[in-house]
Amino acid sequence: MIAEPVVHYAADPQLRTAIAKPIPQERPNLYAVAVTALKIADAARLLGVSDDTVRRWIDHGRIASVTDDAGRIAVEGAELARFARSIADDVRPGAVAQASARNRFTGIVTSVLRDTVMAQVELQCGPYRVVSLMSREAADQLQLEPGVVAVASIKSTNVVVEVPA
């Protein structure tokens, strides 16, 4: 697994999602929300750049960072999703030298739109934006939210999203 979820406590009602769990009775208005905090090396791999590049971006304020429990600098998944989307806006695909019928792209979820039956999930996989339509039940079971690391498995015109173990 790339990153382990970090639990943050928030009173914000907008954070009360399907994955939020109520805090015990002594703190009834707070909800625990799992947030993925990625190590610098993991963030770099997902963005397709070096660790040093991510550190420079943090130093220059392009990516907001947090400090994990061990005192290391980390990047929250939602922040990485925001940044990945911003740097990919200008990327134009080049010529294709080779292609295969099956591809797997590890990336970060940047958007999840749910209705009563279906969900639209967007991933930023390096410079590539991948969109998948799936049942809402599948998106809920995978606990897909912006900032979650996921794998887009593409076969023909079908995109399957998986969460790494």
Chain CA centroid to CA 143, Å: 11
Query: Which residue, 28, 61, 88, sits at the end of a domain?
Result: 88
User: Counting beta carbons within 10 angstroms of the beta carbon of residue 69, is it exposed (0 to 12), middle (13 to 18) or buried (19 or more)?
Assistant: exposed
Tell me how far apart the alpha carbons of residues 91 and 154 are, in angstroms, rounded to a whole number. 21
Does 155 lie in the same domain as 111?
yes
Does 119 lie in the same domain as 54?
no
| Helix ranges restricted to H, the chain | 40-47, 51-59, 77-88, 136-141
Number of domains the chain is built from: 2
The answer to whether the pTM exceeds 0.85 is no
Does 10 lie in the same domain as 79?
yes
Does 80 lie in the same domain as 29?
yes
Quote the pLDDT of residue 95. Answer: 57
Q: Which two tokens mark 1?
A: 């697994």
One pLDDT digit (tens) per residue for the chain, 165 residues: 344 444 444 444 443 343 444 444 444 444 444 567 888 998 998 888 999 999 999 999 999 998 887 888 999 888 888 898 888 765 555 554 554 546 778 889 999 999 999 999 999 988 888 999 999 999 999 999 999 999 888 876 667 778 877
Query: Which residue, 88, 117, 138, sits at the end of a domain?
Result: 88
Does 76 lie in the same domain as 117?
no
CB-CB neighbours of 34 under 10 Å: 18
Does 108 lie in the same domain as 78?
no
Q: Which residues contact 103 (CB under 8 A, 6 or more apart)?
A: 153, 154
Does 112 lie in the same domain as 81?
no
Q: Which two tokens mark 154?
A: 């593409």
